[in-house]
Structure 1
Amino acid sequence: MADTAILDVDGTLVDTNYQHALAWFRALRRYGITLPVWRLHRGIGMGGDQFVAAVAGRDVEEEHGDALRAAWSDEFDELLGEVRPFDGAHELLVELKDRGFRLVLASSGQADHVDVFLDLVEGKELADAWTTSDDVERSKPEPDLVSAALHKVGGGSGVMVGDSVYDAQAAARLGVPTIGIRTGGFSVGELHEAGAVQVFDSLVALRAALDGTALASPSR
């Protein structure tokens, strides 16, 4: 039993993964680096501090890492107006709050981006807390984000809801179970292998099945 529901924001509550991939593609192109978008997409979900080395190699990180992250931010800002919430995002937050969970909306993204995303899902009125890049030293798949989320609300135990293998890996390092959502483009098998205990196609499907999950009712 858990007392805290930790919901990833990017790619889980709001549909951002392809915008992120395209922004990274364009940022890398500024430095003469062309990588296939599918490869970039496979890295979306880990933080920017991890991403460049993972997709382009350590040499690129050492030479251009900070500049690439700045370029990515510029490119993503141009796409921010296209981001939309996933169906059922707000309704799921309401349901979890009504069931009595502490609710944390977890992101290691820039504070200004997170602010927009939370408004899209009307999350500020419902969440007990949320996180941004200011709250973590290392991003996913490191466990800092999950730890920060629990710490913000004094939670004793949590359940992570996320769309990527990196969400599940980060939570697993703290012994926190993950419910996977396929909106990140990862397969059921990949999410299970990374540590997800259950996987759903959408937030709407998860909400309909809550009674059969670790988010049925909170422990107290």
Structure 2
Amino acid sequence: MADTAIFDVDGTLVDTNYQHALAWYLAFRRFDITLPVWRLHRAIGMGGDQLVAHVAGDDVEQRHGDDVRSAWVEEFDDMIDSVAAFDGATELLAEVKKRGFRLVLASSGKQKHVDRFLDLIGGKDIADAWTTSEDAEASKPAPDLVQVALDKVEGRDAVMVGDSTWDAVAAGKADIPTIAVRTGGFSVEELTRAGATTVVESLIELRDGLDDGPLGRPTR
């Protein structure tokens, strides 16, 4: 049993994954690199420091990596007004907190983006702590950010709630189980293959089933 709940933000609590994929597509196009959007989507959840090489190769990373990432920020900024919270996000966080868990919102996003998303869900009023890209040297699928999230609240054992395969892989490397929500557009098979122990369709389904899972009551 856990004493800490770590929630991924992008794609889990706020609906951003397809904006992210399209922003990466447009960023690469600035350098005459055209990648299938569906392949870019499958990399969403991975940190930008690793995504460029993963989807386009080491040569593109060496020649254009930082410039592509800067272009991605510009493209995503143009779409940010279209981002909304998923149904039930605030209520789920409040319920998990009410049950006594230490609550951390874990994001590897830019500070300005994270602030915007936390405002959408009232995260700063509910959570005990949150993270940004500034908090870890290596992003997902490295476990650094997950471990930082646990350390921020001095937790002993955690449960991760995420939407992408990369959330499950990163948490697994830190020996933390993952509940996966299909809000990010990944299949049940992809999520379980990446290590998720439970997969649910929505945040509302997760909230309704809290008593039957690891977020029922925390350890003391």
Post-superposition CA distance 1:136-172 (Å, at most 9, x none): 1001000011000001000001000000010000000
Instruction: Give the unaligned 5+ runs of structure 1.
Output: none
Matches within 5 A, 1:1-220: 1-220=1-220
Q: Classify the secondary structure of the residue corresponding to 1:104.
A: strand
Distance 1:111 1:117 in 2: 10
The amino acid of 2:114's aligned partner reads: V
The amino acid of 1:183's aligned partner reads: T
Q: CA deviation at 1:187?
A: 1.0
Distance 2:183 2:61 in 1: 28
The amino acid of 1:151's aligned partner reads: D
What count of residue pairs does the alignment treat as equivalent?
Answer: 220
Distance 2:213 2:184 in 1: 20
Q: Classify the secondary structure of the residue corresponding to 1:67.
A: helix
Post-superposition CA distance 1:107-136 (Å, at most 9, x none): 000000000000000110000000000101
Q: Classify the secondary structure of the residue corresponding to 1:113.
A: helix
Instruction: Give the unaligned 5+ runs of structure 2.
Output: none
Identity of aligned residues (%): 66
Query: Could you tell me the TM-score, scaled by structure 1's length?
Result: 0.99
Query: Could you tell me the TM-score, scaled by structure 2's length?
Result: 0.99
The amino acid of 1:24's aligned partner reads: W
